[in-house]
Amino acid sequence: MMMGVKRKTNRFFDPHNGKTMILPMDHGVSQGLIPGLGNLGKLIEDISKTRVRGVVLHKGMAQEYADKLSFNQNLIIHMSAGTKHGLPPYGKTLVCSIQEALRLGADAVSVHINIGNDLEDRMLSDLGMVVDEAHQLGLPVMAMIYARGGQIINELDPHLVAHCIRLGAELGADLVKTPFSNEQKIFSMAVASCPVPVVIAGGSKQADFKRLIQMVKKAMDCGARGVSIGRNIFQHPKPLEALEQLWEAVSA
């Protein structure tokens, strides 16, 4: 059974350099009518001709638009939801089942976990359950893990980011997504000790795209296997050109 999971996970990575570029477009649930995702169908059609290896969508948008993906692009159904209006805003809950994700044609599923808060236990429990059920059906799991909440002062604290990476591996995720701490020594150690691939998040929209590219290059030097960056791509004035620059940084 796990051989199927590994084969599907490997499809997310370029066979020539072992790197990946994932485009998350699940932000409508947390943010509402977010700029850049107003015409999601056209955006997915446009990126079908790019080096994007996977996209992250919630189930409703996957149902409508997943057929626009190219044959080489993988669909990740995001199973976690929570809005910016909720109390607390860092709370995430499961809104999809593994069976529903498979009916939608998912190649993998993703779960969002925030640690360092009073809902941490529930989110960790959700991740554990999803990994078990997904692996029974041969489906990989990407764990998006962040340090957010009442106990967290600095979300990019190198030791906290390293803990997020380790946590994903310990709980059985097949791919771990975290922010890049910008501290290369500890990040490199965390990635080196993680038996599954690590990809970095892009965070909020940055005013200077060149700074984002520099950050990506540093993360790749530390052993990251790719990126899962959304807002800095789909909110870019020229998303396709931004993806080309991003892939150059990832694959350099």
Please say whether the beta carbons of 134 and 143 come within 8 A: no
Of 134, 109, 113, 131, nearest to 122 by C-alpha is 113
What token pair was written down for 95? 């809104």
90 catalytic? Reply is: no
Annotated catalytic residue, options 59, 92, 126, 146:
146
Annotated catalytic residue, options 26, 107, 126, 174:
26
Three-state SS string over 136-171 comes to HCCCCEEEEEEECCCCCCCCCCHHHHHHHHHHHHHC
Which H/E stretch holds residue 8?
helix 2-10
- What pairs with residue 75 in β-bridges? 55
Annotated catalytic residue, options 19, 59, 92, 177:
177
Plot region of 223 (φ>0 → left; ψ -120 to 50 → alpha; else → beta): left
CA atoms of 205 and 31, how far apart (whole Å): 13
Q: So which residues are the catalytic ones?
A: 26, 146, 177
